[in-house]
Amino acid sequence: MSFLVSLLFLQAASDMGPGTPPYARPGEESVDPYVADNRNAGASPFDGEGMAKAFHGQDGIRRIVDTMVEASSADPVIGEIFANHDKIRLKRTIFEQFCYILNAGCSYTGRDMAASHKDLGIQKADMNRLVEVLQRAMTTEGVAFQAQNRFLSKLAPMRRDVLQK
């Protein structure tokens, strides 16, 4: 299946110009070509439907991601890191990643975490700030604290790929 997705991606990339994946939303900027694979999401999905329900399905996940990306971009501490990055793509790919990990019925088509954050200069304090922003977005959505923490523990090991080496 992931082989098929890769073929589709490569095909569409050649039709639409380099780096334009078939899943791109209107207005997305193109990125250098890469092979789409769920393993790029950086974590395996939860079993069963419990976590997807706790996050109110795809609609809830979309609200959380949109709020998180907007709040991060407007944040006095980390906002600058998000300046001049494609927020349309960011909202789509982070939505896909969260939806995939929460087992809410999506595939992840973005880049892996090391490639996505290379050269962004992200420090520990930036990571902690982003987690706070995400916690606020999940709380606003009404996600129970236990489910929030289960999800955050899936993201925690990704720190090593996100932080500046």
Tell me the site size for ligand HEM, rule CB under 6 A: 22
Q: Write out the binding residues for ligand HEM, residues 18-77 only, by CB under 6 A.
A: none
CB of 120 to ligand HEM, least distance (A): 6
CB of 97 to ligand HEM, least distance (A): 4
Contact (Cβ atoms closer than 8 angstroms) between residue 35 and residue 9:
yes
Q: What is the 3-class SS of 119-133, one letter each residue? A: CCCCCHHHHHHHHHH
**Angle 124-141/145-155 helices, nearest 10 degrees?**
150
Q: H helices within the chain, ranges in order?
A: 2-16, 50-54, 57-74, 79-82, 87-101, 113-117, 124-141, 145-155, 159-162
Can you tell me which of 36, 51, 61, 111 binds ligand HEM, judged by CB under 6 A?
111
Q: Which stretch binds ligand HEM (CB under 6 A): 46-54, 56-64, 125-133, 141-149?
A: 125-133
Can you tell me which of 10, 13, 122, 147 binds ligand HEM, judged by CB under 6 A?
122
Q: Write out the binding residues for ligand HEM, residues 91-110 only, by CB under 6 A.
A: 93-94, 97, 110
Which tokens is 16 given? 């639409």
Q: Is 130 in the site for ligand HEM (CB under 6 A)?
A: yes
CA distance 163 to 165: 6
Return residues touching ligand HEM (CB under 6 A).
78, 81-82, 85-86, 89-90, 93-94, 97, 110-111, 116-117, 120, 122, 126-127, 130, 155, 158, 162
